[in-house]
Structure 1
Amino acid sequence: MPKATSQTFTRSHGPVSASKRPGAAKADASGSAATSGARNHLFNTEKFGQHILTNPLVAQGIVDKAELKPTDVVLEVGPGTGNLTVKILPVCKRVVACEMDPRMAAEVQKRVLGTPQQKKLEIILGDFVKADLPYFDVCISNTPYQISSPLVFKLLSHRPVIRSAVLMFQREFALRLCAAPGSKLWCRLSANVQMYARVEHVMKVGKGNFRPPPQVESSVVRIRPHDPPPPVKFEEYDGLNRVVFSRMHKTLRACFKAKGVKEMVDKNYRTWCAVNERLIEDDFDAWKLIDEILAETLVPAKTLDEDEQRPAFADSRAAALSGNDLLELLRAFNVRGVHFA
């Protein structure tokens, strides 16, 4: 799995400049900051891109979708003020909440202080992306949207394999996670995640359920990692997908002609030959090898009677290839000594 890295705020969720905030001009004239009704009344949440989930029915729905057991240890990423946390604690063994904002962490602890749930809550103060995670069975998160992708891949790479994750994301990101091959939203993200997990869209969440409200709609997805995980090296699979999905609606032959691909394949092939003590022909041409593999390898048949109609990968497009198709293509390259990581 890739090393998770933090990302900068997206346009939709980044801090709003003072000049663009409602009432900013009035605040400047009076010498004091105006308080917007859309802002969280406890904290300035913009620094960490936080949008506090305030609808208790939505929070309960998320917890219900997690199908928690009394013996479960739950990881919650970005608990905020604890609106989800207080609904998770009564139905599980323990909650490990990872929070970057010390003010929010203090608020969560305050909410359970002196209650039977206090001993069941553990706070990890810091950046989730960089944190060493303890054992947990299920992850629940109203995700800070700027860490959506790092969060997903960190969860998929966690060992032992977790049972499931119920995560709130920006609607478009969530739909890409769930997209089917051949659909408009099918992309490298879809292919990579669905190779290692089953992903379901379980709930739509409108802007009005948050404070301050985000500029985009949200969705909740449930991710169930495959256990055991497929015996496919992620870096290798993702390396192929980087090439294939670089120009989704072009043929694969055109994708592999993109700048830098031939050089990458040539370098990796020579490394593979050196490691395996194979001689390299004097007239070796990486592009010729790529073209041969693409032309000779047929896309797997979807049904038993399709054998005569199977196209070669050379004339196929990434938008129409399934995860199994991509695995077959990767296998064909690997057999000939071509690697992508």
Structure 2
Amino acid sequence: MKHIPRKRFGQHFLTDQGIIEGIVQAIAPRAGQAVVEIGPGLAALTQPLVERLGHLTVIELDRDLAQQLRAHPQLTVVESDVLKVDFRQLAFTAGNAGKVRVVGNLPYNISTPILFHLLDAVDVIEDQHFMLQKEVIDRMVAAPSTSDYGRLSVMLQWRYAMENVLFVPPQSFDPPPRVDSAVVRMVPHAHPAALDVKLLSQLVQVAFSQRRKLLRHTLGQWLTARGFPGAFDVQRRAEEVPVAEYVALAQQVAAVAM
């Protein structure tokens, strides 16, 4: 029975065999590794992965697709909204109390919430390979002083080394999306800076709230309201500040508040 893609789930099924092989090569799965796939859909990527791994855990929200996937003896199917999945628990079971690798063609309508949900469990994740809207990946990997550099860049780069590894055109899917896609590799930093993630998020959100204005109008006022006595150059725009400076500022603000 042919599955009709559901708009509410943001379903676009990958059909290009050359692209599928390119993604598998980028992931480089090895037998016995604990891997979790988000949104397996019609198993285009699932099948070549499980052939190399021997076993694969998949997270699928669509009830009909989950039922089809359960017929595969080498798959553990988690039928759930990925935003409700406890990846720490999943790592404990799938990864034998170790770490998991996470892959998937993420639904573009909720890709950013998924990335932040995984950030909460980053300490149990070995690496991530995701297909996303190319525009989103451009923002994720953007360097300072570029138009793509923003809150998403800072919030992910402080915790991951990331690279755009593959371009995926619309015609690689059925139905074709209206945007270009790409595949990103995300490897958690081995020794990340210790900080209050919620504080960094708030600080960065304030900084980029009016990105065309100098930071003295936004972040400068926020720091003054908090009684921050340190030195920080607010005569710049938010996009001119490197990730390391935002991280250092978050640490200093936290220290003052203690």
> How far off its partner does 1:228 sit?
4.0
Preserved contact between residue 156 and residue 225 of structure 1 (Cα < 8 Å): no
Q: Kindly tell me: are residues 71 and 289 of structure 1, through their superposed partners in 2, closer, same or farther at Cα, counting changes over 3 Å?
A: same
TM-score (norm 2): 0.88
**Is 2:48 aligned against 1:128?**
no
Which structure 1 residue ranges, 5 or more long, are not aligned?
A: 1-39, 113-117, 266-285, 299-312
**Is 2:171 aligned against 1:208?**
yes
Preserved contact between residue 97 and residue 121 of structure 1 (Cα < 8 Å): yes
> How far off its partner does 1:148 sit?
0.6
Partner of 2:203: 240
> How far off its partner does 1:175 sit?
0.8
Preserved contact between residue 74 and residue 138 of structure 1 (Cα < 8 Å): yes
| In 1, Cα distance between equivalents of 2:55 and 2:226 | 57
**Is 2:161 aligned against 1:198?**
yes
| In 2, Cα distance between equivalents of 1:47 and 1:335 | 44
Give deviations 1:165-212, integer Å, cap 9, x for gaps. Answer: 110111111110111111110000100000011110011111111111
Give deviations 1:208-250, integer Å, cap 9, x for gaps. Answer: 1111111111111011112344311210111110111112232
> How far off its partner does 1:257 sit?
6.5
Matching residue's letter, 2:238: A
> How far off its partner does 1:288 sit?
9.1
Q: Kindly tell me: are residues 106 and 199 of structure 1, through their superposed partners in 2, closer, same or farther at Cα, counting changes over 3 Å?
A: same
| In 2, Cα distance between equivalents of 1:287 and 1:229 | 28
Preserved contact between residue 195 and residue 250 of structure 2 (Cα < 8 Å): no
Question: How many aligned residue pairs are there?
Answer: 249
Preserved contact between residue 188 and residue 245 of structure 1 (Cα < 8 Å): yes
> How far off its partner does 1:107 sit?
2.9
Highest Rg: 1 or 2? 1
Q: Given the alignment, which residue of 320, 337, 341 partners 2:240?
A: 320
* Pairing 1:240-319 to 2, within 5 Å after superposition: 240-256=203-219, 261=222, 286-287=224-225, 289-290=227-228, 293=230, 297-298=231-232, 313-319=233-239
Q: Given the alignment, which residue of 15, 36, 41 partners 1:80?
A: 41
Q: Kindly tell me: are residues 256 and 321 of structure 1, through their superposed partners in 2, closer, same or farther at Cα, counting changes over 3 Å?
A: closer
Partner of 2:133: 170
* SS at structure 1 position matched to 2:125: coil
| In 1, Cα distance between equivalents of 2:190 and 2:69 | 33
Give deviations 1:118-140, integer Å, cap 9, x for gaps. Answer: 2x210001111112231152111
**Is 2:23 aligned against 1:42?**
no
Matching residue's letter, 2:146: S
Q: Work out the percentage of aligned pairs sharing the same amino acid.
A: 28
TM-score (norm 1): 0.68
Partner of 1:6: none
Matching residue's letter, 1:200: E
Matching residue's letter, 2:248: E
Partner of 1:301: none
* SS at structure 2 position matched to 1:129: helix
> How far off its partner does 1:89 sit?
0.3
Q: Kindly tell me: are residues 336 and 126 of structure 1, through their superposed partners in 2, closer, same or farther at Cα, counting changes over 3 Å?
A: closer
> How far off its partner does 1:93 sit?
4.2
Higher strand share: 2
Which structure 2 residue ranges, 5 or more long, are not aligned?
A: none
> How far off its partner does 1:47 sit?
3.1
Preserved contact between residue 144 and residue 241 of structure 2 (Cα < 8 Å): yes
Preserved contact between residue 79 and residue 141 of structure 1 (Cα < 8 Å): yes
